[in-house]
Structure 1
Amino acid sequence: MAEEELQMEEGGKKSKLMMIIIIVVVLLLGGGGAAYFLLGGEEEVATVEGEEQAQMDGDDGETSEGVKAGTALYVAIPNPITFNVPGANRDRLVEIKVQLMVRGSSAEEQVKMHIPSIQGALNRAFSQANADDLITEAGKAAIRGNALKEVQKTLKDVSGNELVEQVLFTGFVMQ
């Protein structure tokens, strides 16, 4: 009877050991498969980025259809633009945080060099605003369009290129 119990214990230990080995193997294979799945597509991304860079270098950032190519980069204006605007009932204080969208690292570097000129252009654009207009989304879109025109005009005068594709408001406070 004692021999039968000893054989059962050894059989139980072997089956537990086999279960542990199987679980470890499954986890290792699952982790390896997940890593391959998550990290496997990097070569395709590098190829696409290389093609975009070649297009940007070849035709000054534009394809034959006039669509801008290249990586969109964002240049943050370091300080928010703060200004007063007149309103029908009272004047208001407005603070806008601005980022500029450019295409390519060379455009990014040029825009960073001319930040003070761009801040002046933004101040000119924002000084034409009215508090009653800024309450509406259409008014914000209009001031954003006006700011883009002013920034592009300033950069064209300073560097010879417009460089900035969009003016984005990342913070907008009106009191």
Structure 2
Amino acid sequence: MADEELTQEEGKKKGGMLKWIIILVVLIALGVGGYFGYTMFFAAPDEDATSEEMADAQAPLEDLEGQLVPLPVFLVNLADPLGRRYLKLGVEVEVRDADAQAALAKYEAKVKDTLLLLLSSKSYDGLSTMKAKVELKQEIADRLNQILGNGSVLRVYITEMVIQ
């Protein structure tokens, strides 16, 4: 009789301890799953880090004051499947000095060709977000710096943009 009572008490203790371990594991799994779900679906994208990285990359350029040079307005068909969309883009470029401004005028044909090819390779989806527009400005600056010499173009400003 006494042996049966001891066996029942040990069974209850083991069952009670096992129940708490299972509850603890389930709670931890729910917490990890909840955190994962929140970060993937509900948390805002980390745009602050992206804008800080871009600001750090352009920090030396922000100290410089340049001269604004307007470029002609570009009107191109976008690279959409049906070819029914077009982009009208007005751009002003901030150059470092008068030499860069003169080089921009000298290589005007190269500049137009490069920018027309760049813009016509874009699609509506590739230009519809704010991030895509900022990337477009950076791509234009990079292409112009390849033509004029590295560091000649400080910033690119989009003055007019119509996508239809």
Select the residue among 69, 74, 91 that pairs with 1:75.
69
Q: Which residue of 1 aligns with 2:92?
A: 99
Query: Structure 1: which 5+ residue stretches go unaligned?
Result: 1-64
Equivalent in the alignment of 2:105: 112
Counterpart in the other structure of 2:161: 172
Letter in 1 for 2:115: L
Give the 3 Å change call, closer, same or farther, for CA 66–96 of structure 1 in structure 2.
Answer: closer
- Report the secondary structure of 1:171's partner residue: strand
Cα distance in 2, alignment partners of residues 132 and 87 from structure 1: 9
- Do the aligned partners of 2:77 and 2:87 also contact (CA within 8 Å) in 1? yes
Q: Quote the Cα distance in structure 2 between the aligned partners of 1:131 and 1:67.
A: 30
Aligned match for 1:84, one of 77, 81, 84: 77
SS of 1:107's partner is helix
Query: 1:87-166 maps to which residues of 2 (within 5 A)?
Result: 87=80, 91-156=84-149, 161-166=150-155
* CA–CA separation in structure 2 for the residues paired with 1:145 and 1:67: 13
Amino acid at match of 2:85: R
Query: Judging changes above 3 Å, is the alpha-carbon distance between structure 1 residues 67 and 100 closer, same or farther for their aligned structure 2 residues?
Result: closer
- State the alpha-carbon separation in 2 of the partners of residues 169 and 107 from structure 1: 19
Structure with more contact order per residue of length (Cα contacts < 8 Å, sep ≥ 6): 2
Distance 2:62 2:163 in 1: 34
Aligned pair count reads: 106
The DSSP-based 3-state class of the residue aligned with 1:133 is: coil
Shift in Å, 1:148: 1.5
- CA positional deviation for 1:88: 6.8
The CA RMSD over aligned residues, in Å, is 2.4
Gaps of 5+ in 2: 1-58
- Aligned-residue sequence identity (percent) comes to 19
Q: Cα deviations across residues 64-109 of structure 1 (Å, max 9, x unaligned)?
A: x9657654101111x2111111347863110001111112222222
1:43-65 Cα distance to aligned partner (Å, 9 max, x none): xxxxxxxxxxxxxxxxxxxxxx9
Q: So what's the TM-score if we normalise by structure 2?
A: 0.55
Letter in 1 for 2:97: G
Letter in 2 for 1:133: G
